[in-house]
Structures are given as structure tokens and as C-alpha cells.
């Protein structure tokens, strides 16, 4: 037990830590990062391999490639997973290194909006190409 300097009472370590410790969300956040990392590894390799093979081809070939249902689904999974993983990583960095509570909150909100807008824009673009290809 430690002695509390304010009122000369003995205070248990758990009492001193109340309000300073875990919000009970750390494991979920950590697990989401690991799952998205596992998803991202093979899907990004597939994407890079596919882009190397399609490089130099015509616009029509590319749109036909995106319109293939398997490619459309894999692209959508990749976009959602990559942007969610990026949001999680940016959140950890902000929470660890931004000390001002007000600025941290504004930055976290801004990051969520940023990654949401980019993700929705990419999903919209993929779907538009997929559904409009050949029209």
C-alpha cells in the first residue's frame, strides 16, 4: 500500500489507478488491427500482382477487369480493410502522442471523417466502374 500525500491515508494501488487505466477496449482495438493486417497482406499482394499484369493495357481492359465480380468484391474488401486498418493505426498514434485532450479529440474526429470520406469515395468509384463497364 502507498501513502496518499493529500490526506496521509494509506491507499491501495488499485484505488490510485482508478480512472487512469484501461477503458476495456484495448483488446478489441488490438484484435481489429491484427485481423485487418492479416486480411491486408494477401489482398494487397493480389492487387499489386494484378496491377502489374494490367499495366499498359487499355482503359476498356481495366474497366472490364474491375467489372469482373470477383475483382469487384476483392477490391471492395481491400478498400474497406485498408482504410479501417489505417484509421486504427492513426488513432493509436494520436492517442499515444497528442497530449492535449481537446486537440486529441478534434484530431480523432477529423481522422475518422477523413478515412470515412476516402473509403466511401473509393467504394463508390469501384461500384460505379463495375456497374457502368460496357455501357
* CB 129, CB 66: distance < 8 Å: yes
Q: How far apart are CA 94 and CA 104, in angstroms?
A: 7
Q: How far apart are CA 55 and CA 8, in angstroms?
A: 73
61 lies in some domain? yes
Number of domains in the chain: 1
Q: What are the tens digits of pLDDT across the range 46-77?
A: 999 999 999 999 999 999 999 999 999 999 99
Q: What is the mean pLDDT of each run of 10 residues along the chain (135 residues)?
A: 58 62 73 96 98 95 95 98 97 94 96 98 97 82
Which grid coordinates are listed for 37? 493486417
54 lies in some domain? yes
- Domain of 45 in residue numbering reads as 25-132
16 lies in some domain? no
127 lies in some domain? yes
128 lies in some domain? yes
Ranges of H-type helices in the chain: 13-17, 26-54, 59-67, 69-97, 101-132
82 lies in some domain? yes
Q: How far apart are CA 40 and CA 34, in angstroms?
A: 10
pTM of the model: 0.79
DSSP 12: -
**Which residue bears the cell 476495456?**
24
Which grid coordinates are listed for 5? 500525500
- CATH number of the domain that 91 lies in? 1.20.1300.10
57 lies in some domain? yes
Amino acid at each position: 500500500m502507498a501513502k496518499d500525500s493529500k490526506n496521509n491515508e494509506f491507499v491501495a494501488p488499485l484505488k490510485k489507478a482508478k480512472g487512469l487505466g484501461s477503458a476495456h477496449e484495448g483488446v478489441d482495438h488490438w484484435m481489429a488491427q491484427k485481423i485487418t493486417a492479416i486480411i491486408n497482406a494477401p489482398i494487397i499482394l493480389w492487387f499489386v500482382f494484378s496491377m502489374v499484369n494490367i499495366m499498359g493495357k487499355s482503359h476498356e481492359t481495366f474497366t472490364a477487369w474491375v467489372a469482373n465480380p470477383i475483382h469487384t468484391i476483392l477490391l471492395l474488401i481491400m478498400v474497406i480493410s485498408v482504410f479501417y486498418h489505417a484509421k486504427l493505426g492513426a488513432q493509436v498514434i494520436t492517442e499515444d502522442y497528442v497530449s492535449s485532450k481537446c486537440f486529441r479529440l478534434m484530431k480523432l474526429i477529423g481522422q475518422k471523417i477523413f478515412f470515412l470520406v476516402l473509403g466511401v469515395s473509393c467504394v463508390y468509384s469501384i461500384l460505379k466502374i463495375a456497374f457502368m463497364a460496357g455501357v
